[in-house]
Amino acid sequence: MTDSLRVATERRDRILLITMRRPQKRNAVDRAMADALDAALNLLDDDPALAVGVLTGGPAMFSAGSDLGSGSGGYRTERGGYYGIIQRRRVKPLIAAVEGIALGGGMEIVLACDMAVASESASFGLPEVRRGVLPTCGALFRTLHAMSPGMARQMVLTGAPIDARRALALGLVNEVTPPGEALVRALAIAGEMASNAPLAVQACLAAMNGMVNGDDAAGWAATEEALKAVRHSEDFAEGVRAFLEKRAPIWRGR
């Protein structure tokens, strides 16, 4: 096992288990966690002895996304983009094992994985509009791949979360387990993949991701245009300030 202040990695035969471990901050991503996730995923792709990765936030939660209170905002890495994972062109499969919340950027991390297993305790949401900001880590277009356009709009525009069973019905997750068993099932699926011919698995993954993610450039451009519309608004600043002060925001519409 290899530990950093933010992320632990553990080899289980040909599987790399990657665990976010910042529970006191609900596994919110700061600069240090982005770098640690980047290093773990570099290891997964670069080590020929590893075939599959499993990403978890531990037994209580997955991730609440960006750490708005860290004062940094520089959560990008050279190979992985946002959080060290969101824009990464991975060679090997990555499975998210979700217990508890996957909110905002946490849900966007799930969307960046190849598949997800969630326990009945899991919930998924994109609450950014409730804070005067917007999802900048892929959700504005990746939700359109994962579910119907109408449901994608509902999640983004209301900010309301959904539970694991609803996420399964929408196609956001592959399987739902009893509470506490998401990691066990994710590791089992990873083991099935790891027993297959590695070059065949990687070639299939590249082909399928190439088709699904072929229009990502347009999605990132559209996200940037949306961000420009709100980045310098009073509401943008008020939403972040209200979140940090733990109060309801007062919107001005400007």
Q: For residues 229-253, give the mean pLDDT.
A: 88
pLDDT at 2: 63
**What is the mean pLDDT of the segment spanning 108-120?**
98
Average pLDDT on 123-136 reads 94
Is the confidence at residue 243, as pLDDT, over 90? no
Q: Which residue has the tokens 């069973």?
A: 165
Binned at pLDDT 50, 70 and 90, residue 57 comes out as very high
| Alpha carbon separation from 46 to 39, 192, 211 (Å, rounded) | 10, 21, 23
- What is the distance between the alpha carbons of residues 35 and 98, in angstroms, rounded to a whole number? 21
Per-residue pLDDT reduced to its tens digit, 60-111:
999 999 987 776 556 899 999 999 999 999 999 999 999 999 999 999 999 9
Rounded to the nearest 10 degrees, the angle between the axes of helix 105-112 and helix 139-146 is 50
pLDDT band (50, 70, 90) for residue 212: confident
The single residue of 99, 128, 175, 225 carrying the catalytic annotation is 128
The pLDDT of residue 215 is 83
Measured at the CA of 52, the angle between CA 48 and CA 55, to 5 degrees, comes to 130
**135 has a pLDDT exceeding 90:** yes
Q: Give the sign of the dihedral formed by CA 216, CA 95, CA 137, CA 120.
A: positive
Residue 14 corresponds to which tokens in the numbers above?
A: 């040909």
Which residues are paired to 8 by β-bridges?
A: 3, 19
pLDDT of 232 > 90? The answer is: no
Give how far the C-alpha of residue 17 lies from the chain's centroid of Cα atoms, to the nearest Å. Answer: 16
- Would you state the structure tokens that stand for residue 234, as one six-digit string? 């009073």
Contact 115, 174 (CB under 8 A): yes
Give this prediction's pTM. 0.93
| Start-to-end C-alpha separation, the chain | 50
* pLDDT score, position 68: 77
Domains and CATH numbers, the chain: 2-210 (3.90.226.10)
pLDDT, residue 18, reads 98
Half-sphere exposure of 58 (CA within 13 A, CB side): 16
CB neighbour class for 243 (10 Å; exposed up to 12, middle 13-18, buried from 19): middle
Catalytic residue among 10, 78, 99, 108: 108
Instruction: Answer whether residue 253 shows pLDDT above 70.
Output: yes
Catalytic residue list contains 99: no
